[in-house]
Amino acid sequence: MTIVFQAGDKIMIDGRRIVAAVAALALLALPACGRGEQGRATSAGALAAPGTAAPSAKSGSGTANAVATSTKVRADNLRLVRSGNADIALQFEFVNTGTDAVTPSSLGMDPSTHVIAFLVDLPRGTGYAVQRSTQANPDIDFSKPEQARASASTTKDVPGGGSSTVTLVYPAPPAETASMLVLVDGFVPTEVPVQPAGSPSLKDDPVLHQSNVPFDDLFQPVQPLVCPVEGAAKPSGPVGPSSFRLPSDALFAFGKADLSPAASGAIDALAKQVTAKSGTVTIEGHTDSIGGDAENQKLSEARAAAAQKALADKLGSGFTYRTVGFGETRPVAPNTKPDGSDDPDGRAQNRRVEITVDAAAAAAPEPPPARDEPDVSLDGSGLQPKVQSVTALAGYTVAQVAITNGGSAAKDLGYLNDPNRNGVNGIRADTGGELSINLTSGSQLRGCLFTPSWWGVLENGSGADRIPAGGTLVQWAVFGPVPPDQKSVTVGVGGFATPFPARVASR
């Protein structure tokens, strides 16, 4: 069974088949300051040294290269700078390395439709979409209120060999957030440090001075990432238990066990993707180490019970539900640094709810559902995948695979970015270039999903799935964590029958 966390209708933008996401239905409650679950003040975490194999970060800036050799652009000097109390600005130099003019909006940064550029606070498992403005931007033709807070430069041509400064404005993350993963359409993922307000690296731009549309039922730019893990097949049936981890910071208000309205909408979207009609659902609550053992145990049990009630309301009585709270006894990351000081990023990973759905064995396998797209076979096509990196980050994994066309003619990859593909007994249509990670346990990691996006957290860049002769396209995806004791995996690439071995690097 495949569990996903996004819903919508397929549409066409720049020739790409993608999914129009359904936004969650209320404000997501996040901690307003750097404090633990029981209220103790915490120190800001320092950015760890970046790895050499995947997302990179420099001191205060980074560079993101285009994923396709045919796309002659680069994002230089990426910086994340807090702007006032409510915002954080992503700013970079959009560099045109080719000879023809390029407009940033043609690469997924169009404020009049949808800016396909997101930030992820990895330790807290939370994604951020661009803010919207209450007023039209006078420097953008046909601008209207409630469009994305993106600089007018996103709509202007950048001549060959030229560059322009692009500014995108997001809701501010918690004060303790030290770095964020930047995911921009057409570029490789890049981890960038967060700089304080007033940093001289932030260039002034009119978009920085606009006011924000308030969060409401239809506008929810801050949402959790949900990363499905498909269990190994069971002898008694075709589907193994599937699980996913939800960060508590994105589900509950600070120190509380009441699900936020946004979390309720998220669970509703999740429940719609469960194809099994019966089985066992296990919900586990976990906390960090701040506070007393008894208080943390009680909080973990109450949060598991809240999630169970919401799931049971959606999935119905065909399932058996089991809840358990583990308090602070099963951390997945250190609560303190080696010197004994507080580690807010580690504690954020430990505050979580884990849900496992173990479908009951069916009397007989049900037939696969009708598919809009046929399975894709790329073996023998002349396309040659090579795993560039599989890198463990703070509670997540980023994989990058370069696919090169060694033939004499352009080749279609057949990629369909539709995270809603799941069917009876977990059957999925196989599309070209879709990535997965296979574990030694037999389980499989699928790409994470972020509700405000129009795509799963997997990108092949610039709306293109055609690779020119001699060209290369980098597919990348963000997944949940690989077990810390597993140092090698195989990476599945849609369209190729045999997965590719890879080492897991840590940054």
The answer to whether 369 touches 350, Cβ cutoff 8 Å, is no
Judge whether residue 385 has pLDDT over 50.
yes
Least confident interval from 82-91, 105-114, 156-165? 105-114
What is d(CA 500, CA 288) in angstroms, rounded to the nearest whole number? Answer: 36
The reported pLDDT for the residue numbered 364 is 44
Say if residue 94's pLDDT is above 70.
yes
Which stretch, 10-14, 35-39, 158-162, 269-273, has highest mean pLDDT? 158-162
**Are 400 and 476 spatial neighbours (Cβ–Cβ below 8 Å)?**
yes
List pLDDT tens digits, range 169-181: 999 999 999 999 9
Average pLDDT of the segment spanning 155-168: 97
DSSP secondary structure of 359-411: EPPPSSPPPPPP-SS-----TTSSEEEEEEEEEE-SS-EEEEEEEEE-SSS-E
Predicted local confidence at residue 239, as pLDDT:
57
Calculate helix-pair angle for 293-315, 261-271, nearest 10 degrees: 50
Residue 154 banded pLDDT, cuts 50, 70, 90: very high
The pLDDT, as a whole number, for residue 266 is 66
Percent of the chain at pLDDT exceeding 70: 76
Overall average pLDDT of the 18-27 stretch: 24
Helix, strand, coil distribution of the chain in percent, nearest 5: 10, 35, 55
Q: Which domains does the chain have, with CATH numbers?
A: 27-209 (no CATH), 222-359 (3.30.1330.60), 383-506 (2.60.40)
pLDDT of residue 24: 21
Judged against a pLDDT cut of 60, whether residue 460 lies above it is answered with no
Q: In sequence order, what are the residues at sequence separation of 6 or more whose Cβ sits closer than 8 angstroms to the Cβ of residue 402?
A: 385, 386, 388, 472, 473, 474
pLDDT surpassing 90 at residue 256: no
Tell me the pLDDT of the chain averaged across its residues.
79
Portion of the chain with pLDDT greater than 90, in percent: 49
The predicted model gives 218-238 an average pLDDT of: 74
| Residue 53: pLDDT over 80 | no
The pTM score is: 0.83
Interval 441-468 mean pLDDT: 71
